[in-house]
Each structure stands twice: as C-alpha cells, then as structure tokens.
Amino acid sequence: MLKLTKVSKIYEGKVAYRALTDINLEIDKGEFVAIMGPSGSGKTTLLNIISTIDAPTTGEVEMEGKNPHKLKKNDLAKFRRNELGFIFQDFNLLHTLTVEENIVLPLTLDGARVKEMKEKANKLANSLGISGIMNKRTYEISGGQAQRVAIARAMIHEPKLLLADEPTGNLDSKASKDVMEMLVTINQQEKTSLLMVTHDPQAASYSDRVVFIRDGKLHSEIHRGDSRQAFFQKIIDMLSLMGGDGNDFSSIRV
C-alpha cells in the first residue's frame, strides 16, 4: 500500500545536509513496520516525507498507487485527514479541550454530525479503555491515558496508514506495554498499516518487521517470526552491531 522508491532528502541551508539517501521501502496493507536507528539517522525525516509534511528532494512516494506529493493543496489536506493517522511522542493534544473533544476534532474539521461523532468516539474509547475520562481535560489525565487519547484521535477517521513517531517515548514500561498491545489490536482488527519510529526495542518487538536506518541509508531489516522474545533479542543484537554513540540508545529498557 506504501512504496518508496529511491527517496533522498537534502535539507538546504547555510550548509546543505543530506539526511536520506536512496531509501527503498515497501509496506503491505495491514503490515506493522518499526523503524529504528541512532539519533540523527533520518527516521523523523522519513516519517515526515511519508506523511507529506515534508517533500523528498528526489525519489517517489506512492500510496495505493498515487503520489500524494503531486496533489493540489486542498486535495493534500483531505488526503492527510482521510487516509493518514498520526501519533506523536508528546501526544499533541489540545489542553483547552476535553478528552472527547480532542478525539472528535478531526471529524469536526470535516463537519460531521455530532451524534455520529459521539458514537464513533465512544466505540473507540471503549476499546482503548478510556471511557471513564471522556469529560476530563487533558491536564487531568496520565501520560498513558493521554497516549491512548492520541491513538483514538488518530483512529477516528479509520485511516489506512497510521504513522507513529516514538509513541512510547514518554511512557513507563507498563504504559508502553498497554499502548503497544492496543496498537497491535488495531493493526490486526482494522487491518490498518502501521509505521512506527522507536528507540525502544521492547516496543519494536511488537512489529512484524524492523527496518534499521543509519546515516540516512537502509542498513538492514529483520522479521519477527513466531517468538516476540526471540525477536526482541535479535533487535538488541542488531542495535549493538550497528554501534554508534552509546547515548543514542539511552532510552532502551530491558
């Protein structure tokens, strides 16, 4: 459903910086792919190009056979809202709104009916275990709850592709585990394709496949197989093989 062909990115500036070189990557419908690599290796840049927040310098992005970077401004905004869901490390919730208002925000932008919005929000909240906090403000809830609210908001449009940048970066290991299990459930039940950037090998071990990038290039990839525990160990081994600055993986929880 997603295909990147020889995608490169050069940030122009006083000194031009080559952040990505010739990235080829394909993601199937319903696949869950994690992207790992040292700090500064180009992970967020890659996600921004896929989400059309940023354009590649050269190369092609195709989603379901179409290149979103060629859409006109209005169509692009619609494409982003309808086809993609985003989850960020810092949740990106609006603090003046309640949990429920945050969740239905994307539908509000589309002018959906209130009844329909509430129904959808309640269904999601039930499956994510946040029904009890719908009327709270976002500063009255925990980090793990906030991340689940962010997931609900990303899912309310039933996106084909869910993009997540460090979704467990601000969570403790229990909350991380909960969030990862929810993402896997969504991935399996809704057949939503999932692309997640993470530093956390534990989180990555929930995916079907981990793609490692280093210095803006594809380094290697490993597939999950039957055992998540064995996959976790393979991920750890690959990270140490890739080496780099010890600080790069300071967020590893074993």
Ligand X SMILES: Nc1ncnc2c1ncn2[C@@H]1O[C@H](COP(=O)(O)OP(=O)(O)OP(=O)(O)O)[C@@H](O)[C@H]1O
**Contacting residues toward Mg ion, per CB under 5 A:** 44
Query: Site mask, ligand X, residues 1-30, x = CB under 6 A?
Result: ----------x-x---x-x-----------
Binding site partner of 39, from ligand X, Mg ion, none, Cβ cut-off 5-8 A by kind = ligand X
Polymer length in residues for the chain: 254
The option from Mg ion, ligand X, none interacting with 41 (CB < 5 to 8 A, set by class) reads: ligand X
> Side chain identity at 49, as an amino acid letter?
I
Work out how close the CB of 17 gets to ligand X at its nearest, in angstroms, rounded to a whole number: 5
The answer to whether residue 144 forms part of the interface with ligand X (CB under 6 A) is: no
Looking up tokens 């539908």 gives: 107
Half-sphere exposure of residue 173: CA atoms within 13 angstroms, side-chain side: 6
Stretch that binds ligand X, among 35-43, 93-101, 149-157, 217-225 (CB under 6 A): 35-43
* DSSP three-state, residue 10: strand
Q: Which stretch binds ligand X (CB under 6 A): 33-41, 59-67, 124-132, 172-180?
A: 33-41
Place of tokens 């990147």: 4
Q: Out of 44, 57, 98, 122, point to the residue binding ligand X (CB under 6 A).
A: 44
Query: Please, what's the b/e burial string for 19-46 (b: 16 or more CB within 10 A of its CB; e: otherwise)?
Result: bbbebebebeeebbbbbbbbebbbbbbb
Maximum alpha-carbon separation in the chain: 53
**Shortest distance (Å) from residue 22 CB to ligand X:** 15
40 near ligand X, rule: CB under 6 A: yes
How many other β-carbons are positioned within 10 Å of the β-carbon of residue 66?
12
- Among residues 154, 168, 165, the alpha carbon closest in space to that of 35 is found at 165
| 3-class DSSP assignment, residue 226 | coil
- Among 31, 33, 36, 42, interactor with ligand X by CB under 6 A: 42
Applying CB under 6 A, the residues found at the interface with ligand X are 11, 13, 17, 19, 37, 39-45
